[in-house]
Amino acid sequence: MRLRNIPIADEKIASSPFCIHDPEQYKGSWDRLFHNNNPIHIEIGMGKGRFLLQLAQKNTDINYIGIEKYTSVLFRAIQKLEHMEDDKIPSNLKLLCMDAENLTNVFAQDDISKIYLNFSDPWPKKRHARRRLTSEQFLCIYDQILNKNGTLEFKTDNHSLFEFSLEELTASHWNVDACTYDLHHDPILCQSNVMTEYEEKFSSIGNPIHKLIASKHAK
Ligand SMILES: C[S@@+](CC[C@H](N)C(=O)[O-])C[C@H]1O[C@@H](n2cnc3c(N)ncnc32)[C@H](O)[C@@H]1O
């Protein structure tokens, strides 16, 4: 998702209480931001943030960080929070504008309990494979920030990207703990499913949604 450039987005992000500023200062001690030791779950490429917003409202004992590369997209997530009534805004949700390439600058080993990747950009050209958020290069980054029971949850309607992701996980010695090619008809995995914006769009035109849950091997 790349929205047209929004000139005031940078300014809005810099002054928003929903966004994390100078995230490097919290590396290894995120309790200083959230004022508790609850587990932290992140979504990389959160888009407009509907998925994490729902999770944060539902699970108040988990801290959520939505990570998004483009200011114009994050701006829309901020607007969504700003338009909510004060008592509906979850204090356990924060937004962070950054490229996932730099995650190890802001998170230490064990900082994160779960990573969500939802409808990540497919980068279909082979020469762009490294940019896919489930490439071996990104899995290596995730390995450096997840705790020992940490999990990665990935949803997409893109069959080639899903197959690529399974191959990269295997090559990188991750365990694939659950896998379905039709999430919405999977009696177990669909039970607690929270739809993302893209998931709603693609499932409404009949695309089956694929999902996998993976974890690192014990260190
Ligand atoms: C196709 S959208 C999906 C949005 C949302 N997760 C959903 O399912 O509705 C993918 C999002 O990932 C973001 N993104 C892509 N590469 C990224 C990266 N390296 N770091 C952070 N965000 C990234 C894009 O800007 C875009 O907003």
pLDDT tens-digit readout, 57-103: 999 999 999 999 999 999 999 999 999 999 999 999 999 999 999 99
**Quick one: 72 exposed, middle or buried, by C-beta within 10 A (0-12, 13-18, 19+)?**
middle
1 pLDDT above the threshold of 70: no
Kindly state if the Cβ of 44 falls inside 6 Å of ligand 1.
Answer: yes
Half-sphere exposure of 136 (CA within 13 A, CB side): 6
pLDDT reading at 219 higher than 90: no
Catalytic one among 22, 86, 87, 121? 121
Q: Is 10 exposed, middle or buried (0-12, 13-18, 19+ CB in 10 A)?
A: middle
Query: What is the number of the ligand 1 atom nearest to the C-alpha of 201?
Result: 9
Q: Average pLDDT for residues 118-128, to the nearest whole number?
A: 97
Which residues pair with residue 43 across a beta bridge?
66, 116
Chain segment 155-164, per-residue pLDDT in tens: 999 999 999 9
H or E element at residue 162? helix 159-171
SS3 5: coil
Residue whose pair of structure tokens reads 């290069």 in the numeric block: 137
Residue 78 · residue 95 · CB < 8 Å: yes
Q: Please, are residues 70 and 5 in contact by the beta-carbon 8 Å criterion?
A: no
Summarize the confidence of residues 193-208 as an average pLDDT.
98
Atom of ligand 1 nearest to the CA of 131: 19
Report residue 187: phi and psi, to 5°: -60, -30
Please name each of the domains of the chain with its CATH number: 36-216 (3.40.50.150)
- Side by side, the strands of the sheet bearing 174-180 are 93-97, 63-68, 40-44, 112-118, 146-156, 210-216, 174-180
Q: Is 121 a catalytic residue?
A: yes
DSSP H or E stretch at residue 156: strand 146-156
pTM (predicted TM-score): 0.97
